[in-house]
């Protein structure tokens, strides 16, 4: 059961990776990589059951949080070209 589920999740990850490679805009890639991260969380969880080591769930939990923060940071960086500073100080002519 878990073998089949992890294989299916790997296939789905490959599909999202295709969108990440194809683009065309950077936001398509960010979207695809975010979905890839969510699927990674699920894969780690299923893998923990497959190898009967529930400690993997802690990794999945932390990966879910890192994926969230990473996506937000990349979104901000891709648009504003820096990570610091509040949005109302952004020079909109540069964007």
Partner 1 sequence: MSALVVDFLSWILLLAGTAFALTGAIGIIRLPDVFARMHGAGMIDTLGAALILLGLMLQAGPTLVTVKLLLIGVFLFFTSPATTFALARAALAAGIEPAVEDKTAGGTVAKAAEAAAAKEGDERS
> Would you tell me which residues interact with partner 1 (CB under 8 A)?
1, 4-5, 8-9, 11-12, 15-16, 18-19, 25, 27-28, 30-32, 34-35, 38-39, 41-42, 45-46, 49, 54, 57-58, 60-61, 64-65, 67-68, 71-72, 75-76, 78-80, 92, 95
Q: Could you give the CA distance from residue 24 to residue 26 in angstroms, rounded to a whole number?
A: 7
> Shortest approach of partner 1 to residue 82 CB, angstroms?
13
DSSP state of 55: T
> How would you class 43 by CB atoms within 10 Å of its CB: exposed for 0-12, middle for 13-18, buried for 19 or more?
buried
Q: Using CA of residue 46, residue 49, residue 51, residue 55, what is the dihedral sign?
A: positive
> Shortest approach of partner 1 to residue 53 CB, angstroms?
11
Locate 89 and state its tokens: 């100080």
> Shortest approach of partner 1 to residue 10 CB, angstroms?
10
């Amino acid at each position: 059961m878990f073998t089949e589920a992890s294989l299916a999740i790997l296939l789905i990850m490959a599909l999202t990776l295709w969108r990440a490679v194809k683009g065309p805009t950077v936001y398509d890639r960010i979207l695809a990589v975010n979905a890839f991260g969510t699927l990674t969380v699920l894969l780690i969880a299923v893998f923990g059951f497959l190898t009967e080591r529930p400690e993997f769930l802690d990794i999945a939990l932390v990966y879910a949080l890192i994926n969230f923060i990473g996506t937000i940071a990349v979104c901000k960086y891709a648009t504003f070209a820096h990570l610091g500073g509040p949005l109302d100080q952004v020079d909109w002519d540069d964007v």
